[in-house]
Structure 1
Amino acid sequence: TFKLGFKCGFLVLVVASTSRLMCYYNSKAQNRPNVGKFRVSDIDPDKCTHLIFAFSDIIENELVPTTVNDVQQYVEFNALKQRSVLSLKTKLCLYFYFCMLNRFRTMAGSQENREVFIQSVIKLLRAFNFDGLDVDWRYPAEEDKQRFTELCKLETAFVDEGTSSNQERLILAASVSAERSTIDAGYEVEEIAKHLDFINVLTFDFHGPWESVTAHHSPLFQGSQDTGDAIYSNTASALEYWRDQGAPEEKLNMGFGAFGRAFYLSSNSSAVGAPASGLGEEGCYTGEEGFWASYETCLYLDGVQTHLISDQKVPYATTENQWVGFDDTISISTKINYLKANNFGGAFVWSLDLDDFRGEFCNQGKCPFVSQLHNLLV
């Protein structure tokens, strides 16, 4: 895009980047203790081009808030648009986790039920001034492939509603698996891509402490030790596969996890592929075993040497009996350079509360993870 500006009395043309940076707000983070507590009021509305409120729910085929308290948060969340200089867009996320499968299958299984859902979506989004819906469907079964395609066709209803109401039409996005076997089994890629404005590819959690050896959860490229299907468990392979299966590259967003995955080491070895014995220590503030917010990673690794996994372009570190893989300023820059070189549309982050949003732990100012992505993309 282009904008006009003035310098020393002369009219100048300024070229502005239009890359997307979508940021998730995890509403459950407001319940964390002490400095881990993150509310809507902690969001900087000028860091991201899109904000995504996670999560919502389905009851009797209708889209509804997860809790009564979410309603007030919706109001505060969408009020952030009035303070943003980025033409900020907001979306509400619906996550089809395992215990929701039956509700999803019921809703998506018939035209009548889908119509009830679609009308409830439009009603809820318009009532609270959301700009769109993000459907998080990361574990589809083969039997759900056609249902998901039918659900993505609600984009047509968004177009019709926007035209009839003389409003900008609602956005439809999906957050999808990066695992090749899941992509093949669960998505009609070319067909759903026709209806989706954006596709957030979940290019993290390829590996984790649920496995018996150490490995980075979000490598950029294939590792020298990868064999079998593991050769596809990396960011580049996933994005390129979605593209090659028919998703336009400009719709694809690379996923960044603002967290580390920590393992307990079970031998003296601490290299990539070292024996591990399960989930690492829990984060001090997030309280989840083997999961460290980026600010917790800074806290635990203060003064600890970081190692680069040279072929995968991502770092890890060890402290006592803990092994943790994470992203740092160098790996973030490397990933964004790859994204731009391949003309992918943008990036997204899970999630704002996992960044050093108070600037108390990483000695890099407030929100260093998201700020770097903003500087490189936006």
Structure 2
Amino acid sequence: MVKIILTAGKASSSSKLVCYYNSLAENRAEDGKFTISDINPNQCTHLIYAFSDINDVNELVPTTTTDFQHYQSFNGLKTSNLQLKTLLAVGGTTFKTQKFSTMVSTKENRTMFIQSAITLLRQYGFDGLNLDWRHYGGAGSQPDNKQEFTLLCKELKDAFVVEGTQTNRDRLILTASVSAEKAVIDDSYEVAQIAMNLDFINVLTFDFHGPWENVTGHHSPLYQGSQDTGDKIYSNADSAMQYWRDQGAPAQKLIMGLAAYGRAFTLTSASSGVGAPANGTGEEGCYTGEEGFWAYYETCLYLEGVKTQWITDQRVPYATTENQWVGFDDKDSLDTKVNYLKANNFGGAFVWSLDLDDFSGQFCKQGKNPFISHLHTLLVADQPGSTTSAITTTTTTTTTTTTTSAGKPDTQFCIGKTSGLYPNPNDPNSFYSCFNNITYVQKCPSGLVYQDSCKCCNWPLVSVHH
């Protein structure tokens, strides 16, 4: 029996594109409703299912009973992308801090959580766990939570190693999503210690400013602004990423957060620049329904025909429409941010969240998933072992192809075919992954060939002559 390890070839360090699936988005009405079937499995290197819960006996559990079925569908996406990794997140903005505090407070409680996590992750086919540990050195937490989180990370990693060895399976991945605010970092994390046991760390480099303030400010600036004073000088992605690195986290383990949404303010004067007076909360998105929060596709809808302004020192855009001021990311700022993280050798980017992109393609007129697609092009598409060395869509007139080792791929191959994997008759080292009539060419690791019988990459069959 040959054990096949499906891994991509050696890629540059800044090649991760981690995408969150917000399970609550399926409850939105009409065009805002987003389900697992809307996820393109070929665009992100990692998908994180948000969120799960912790019960009264410190076990990792689904948030709702319907999540069990969703877990199966979510992990079924890997049949269309053999290199995709899936993780289950626990925590989130509405998660009660006390649950984490209780769980980490004793060795017994942590062990209960760890064992339940391994069981749940393996049962439903997840590749790892994401700890959404955001603000646990502050209000609602206990004084020892900082040190206890370090213990949790170490004990989880050790248990994952043992379980992987005993079952002869790839070790479960362990990651965390953490605050980008300097004061919270100091209060909540022993950075160097947790970094030793985490595979990567998602730094939440957004929501630095928002409608809770009385002047306008971009919620996800790359650099410090000329008007920033006091602690505000730390309220930018550059400061946060450098601080995490300087405290002892390896650069390649740090993943920079990108928000597929804007933060809106209501202006209260004729001024409309950065720092203009505002009464806080902006209007709610018509599909997302949260005040001052506009999905990427909602910004396209509201800003149609509106001129975008550029914040030169912070390298991000904003726009005003009537009395609404919104800061967001566009292709220019994404280009700048990706260039930044590559120049600093950071591990990649993560996006909150898939449902906020223009997943239907009807609002931004840039094709489906323009935010994620652009990041995929910048971070993933040119990497060895990439899931998209050739892409064509039926909705645009542009076709992008890359020659495989045995000639040009058939970019029209998947039109009219059921989503799934198919052999490439012109190159046994590669195969086609079809999704919604879009053709993706995937390559097996060096030396392996695609076998349709198992829908997997395997060693080539060798004839033995006596």
Q: Shorter-chain TM-score: what band?
A: over 0.9
* Distance in 2, Cα, partners of 1:104 & 1:146: 13
Q: Deviations over 1:50-91 (max 9, x none)?
A: 000000000020000000111110000000000115x00000
In the TM superposition, 1:168-179 aligns within 5 A as 168-179=170-181
Residue 107 of structure 1 corresponds to which residue in structure 2? Answer: 103
Name the count of aligned residue pairs. Answer: 364
TM-superposition CA deviations, 1:302-340 (whole Å, max 9, x none): 000100000000000000000000000000000000000
Aligned amino acid, residue 90 of structure 2: L
Question: Which deviates further from its counterpart, 190-199 or 99-108?
Answer: 99-108
**2:247 equivalent in structure 1:** 245
| Higher CA-based Rg | 2
Q: Distance in 1 between matches of 2:181 and 2:38?
A: 33
Partner SS, residue 44 of structure 1 = coil
TM-superposed deviation, 1:180: 0.6
Secondary structure, aligned partner of 2:96: helix
Residue 103 (structure 1) shift = 1.8
Matched, 1:148 2:149: yes
Query: Alpha carbons of 1:58 and 1:15: their partners in 2 closer, same or farther (altered >3 Å)?
Result: closer
Asked whether 1:204 is paired with 2:206, we answer yes
Query: Aligned residue for 2:275?
Result: 273
2-side partners of 1:80 and 1:96: how far apart? 23
Q: Which residue of 1 aligns with 2:122?
A: 126
* Offset, 1:141: 1.4
Deviates more, 1:350-359 or 1:137-146: 137-146
What are the residue-to-residue correspondences of 1:223-242 with 2, within 5 Å?
223-242=225-244
Aligned partners of 2:29 and 2:341: how far apart in 1?
36
State the distance in 1 between where 2:135 and 2:10 align: 40
User: 366, 369, 372: which is aligned to 2:368?
Assistant: 366
Q: CA deviation at 1:137?
A: 0.9
CA distance in 2, matches of 1:228, 1:290: 25
Q: Is the 8 A contact 2:219 2:328 kept in 1?
A: yes
State the match for 2:259 in structure 1: 257
The amino acid across from 2:223 in the alignment is F
Structure 2 counterpart of 1:328: 330
Whichever residue aligns with residue 149 of structure 2, its letter is F
* Residue 187 (str. 1) matches residue 189 (str. 2): yes
Q: Which has the larger helix fraction?
A: 1
TM-score (norm 2): 0.77
Distance 1:183 1:102 in 2: 19
Aligned to 1:70: 67
Question: Alpha-carbon deviations, 1:128-153, whole Å to 9, x = none?
Answer: 00000000011121622112111111
- Unaligned ranges ≥5, structure 1: 1-13
Q: Give the residue type in structure 2 aligned to 1:94.
A: V
Displacement of 1:99 in angstroms is 5.2
Query: Which has the larger displacement, 149-158 or 209-218?
Result: 149-158
Q: Give me the whole-angstrom Cα distance separating, in 1, the residues matched to 2:209 and 2:122.
A: 39
Deviates most, 142-151 or 238-247: 142-151
Match of 1:48 in 2: 44
- Structure 2 residue aligned with 1:314: 316
Partner of 1:137: 133
Aligned match for 1:91, one of 87, 109, 114 = 87
Q: Deviations over 1:162-186 (max 9, x none)?
A: 0011100000000000001110111
Q: Is the 8 A contact 1:317 1:324 kept in 2?
A: yes
| Paired residues of 2:283 and 2:292 also in contact (CA < 8 A) | yes
Q: CA deviation digits over 1:254-304, x for unaligned, max 9? A: 000000000000111001000010211110100111000000000000000
Q: Which amino acid aligns with 1:88?
A: L
Match of 2:302 in 1: 300
Question: Following the alignment from structure 2 to structure 1, what is the Cα–Cα distance between the partners of residues 11 and 241?
Answer: 25
Report if aligned partners of 1:135, 1:175 keep a CA contact under 8 Å in 2: yes
CA distance in 2, matches of 1:76, 1:29: 16
Runs of 4+ aligned residues of structure 1 deviating over 3 Å after TM superposition are 14-18, 96-99
Go from structure 1 to structure 2 and tell me whether the alpha carbon gap of 1:98 and 1:287 turns closer, same or farther (over 3 Å shift).
closer
Q: TM-score, normalised by structure 1?
A: 0.95
Q: Please tell me whether the aligned partners of residues 24 and 53 of structure 1 are also in contact (alpha carbons under 8 angstroms).
A: yes
Partner of 1:20: 16
Residue deviations 1:346-368, cap 9 Å, x none?
Answer: 11000000000000011110000
Give the CA RMSD over aligned residues: 1.2
The equivalent residue for 2:404 is none
Does structure 2 retain, via aligned residues, the 8 Å contact 1:96–1:104?
Answer: no
Moved more, 336-345 or 104-113: 104-113
Q: Confirm or deny: 8 A CA contact 2:97 2:136 kept in the other structure.
A: no
1:63 and 1:117 in contact (8 A); partners too = yes
What is the SS of the residue equivalent to 2:320?
strand
| 8 Å Cα contact 1:17/1:377 also seen in 2 | no
Distance 1:97 1:356 in 2: 23
CA contact (8 A) 1:62 1:120 kept: yes
CA distance in 1, matches of 2:243, 2:11: 30
SS in 1 for 2:274: coil
Letter of the 1:205 partner, please give it: D
Contact kept? 2:202, 2:254, Cα under 8 Å: yes
Cα offset for 1:36?
0.5
Q: 1:218 is aligned with what amino acid?
A: S
Give the distance between the partners of 1:33 and 1:110, measured in 2 at CA.
Answer: 43
For residues 317 and 97 of structure 1, the distance between their equivalents in structure 2, rounded to whole angstroms, comes to 27
